[in-house]
Amino acid sequence: MSSKEIKFVTPDASYGMAVNQLVASCPPLDTNSAYCNLLQASHFRETSVAACLDSGEVVGFVSGYLIPERPDTLFVWQVAVSEKARGQGLAKRMILSLLERPSCSHVHHIETSITASNNGSWALFRRLASQLDASLNESVMFDQHAHFNGQHDTEHLVRIGPFSL
Ligand SMILES: CC(C)(COP(=O)(O)OP(=O)(O)OC[C@H]1O[C@@H](n2cnc3c(N)ncnc32)[C@H](O)[C@@H]1OP(=O)(O)O)[C@@H](O)C(=O)NCCC(=O)NCCS
């Protein structure tokens, strides 16, 4: 599959179930309720992007939102790329495409959270920071014990910026 066959789409609710299945097929992502993905694809559509084949199959999705108290910061909630579409810069290009939207015209920082063992995600956001020529800072966002009651690995906050496109 070449990147030419993939188009980026602002989702709507009709994408919710396809996104739900894509996320479920992309461990170690936490699986979502269908309702969660429907909200991502509707209320958060202006800061989310779907990558689709000509056939309509959704092979990538980034959900995000502007942090309510800090609307200059895009929080990247989940990034999912189906196995067959990995390794061609799709995840990175989807996030960069969000930054080019009018809805992100005031965005100068990206935040996300990553577990220590998710090498792909660390590589993606480090690459993104270097492409944006911005620094990357890490801290604990949600702690395994203090926040997850021991039932989930610690989520590390990654903050990239400031940058301007
Ligand atoms: C992580 C994931 C989104 C990457 O998607 P992708 O489209 O293949 O990523 P990209 O091609 O845009 O990669 C961006 C950079 O990260 C690197 N990278 C991506 N996955 C990597 C991996 N598993 N190990 C090491 N480096 C990796 C790429 O080499 C690239 O760096 P480069 O430009 O210097 O070559 C995809 O593997 C996935 O969906 N994984 C399962 C779900 C998940 O962990 N999501 C991330 C949580 S937010």
Domain assignment present for residue 134? The answer is yes
* 119-131 vs 90-99: helix crossing angle, rounded to 10: 50
Domain assignment present for residue 165? The answer is no
Domain assignment present for residue 154? The answer is yes
Domain assignment present for residue 78? The answer is yes
Is the CB of residue 79 below 6 angstroms from any atom belonging to ligand 1?
yes
pLDDT in tens, 25-49: 999 999 999 999 999 999 999 999 9
Q: Where residue 1 falls among pLDDT bands split at 50, 70, 90?
A: low
Q: Best substitution site from 6, 31, 81 to test ligand 1's pocket, by max atoms within 8 Å of Cβ? A: 81
> For residues 111 and 158, is the Cβ–Cβ distance under 8 A?
yes
What tokens were used for 135? 């620094």
Domain of 151, CATH number, reads 3.40.630.30
pLDDT at 68: 97
**111 alpha carbon – ligand 1 mean position (Å):** 16
**84 alpha carbon – ligand 1 mean position (Å):** 12
CA gap 33, 30 in Å, rounded = 10
- Residue of the nearest CA to atom 27 in ligand 1? 120
Range of the domain at 18: 3-160
**29 alpha carbon – ligand 1 mean position (Å):** 13
Cα–Cα distances (Å) from 24 to 16, 34, 156, in that order, read: 12, 11, 22
Q: Give 98's Cβ-side CA count (13 Å radius).
A: 31
**37 alpha carbon – ligand 1 mean position (Å):** 21
For residues 136, 93, 107 and 147, what is the CA-based torsion angle, rounded to 10 degrees? -60
pLDDT in tens, 106-123: 999 999 999 999 999 999
* Mean pLDDT for the chain overall: 96
Checking if the pLDDT of 79 tops 90, the result is yes
Q: Give 39's Cβ-side CA count (13 Å radius).
A: 7
CA gap 61, 97 in Å, rounded = 12
pLDDT in tens, 46-74: 999 999 999 999 999 999 999 999 999 99
Domain assignment present for residue 128? The answer is yes
Total number of domains constituting the chain = 1
Q: Best substitution site from 86, 124, 126, 131 to test ligand 1's pocket, by max atoms within 8 Å of Cβ? A: 124
Domain assignment present for residue 44? The answer is yes
User: C-alpha angle with apex 48: 13 to 117, nearest 5 degrees?
Assistant: 115
For residues 63-90, average pLDDT: 97
The rounded percent of the chain whose pLDDT value lies above 70 is: 98
Is the CB of residue 129 below 6 angstroms from any atom belonging to ligand 1?
no
Domain assignment present for residue 105? The answer is yes
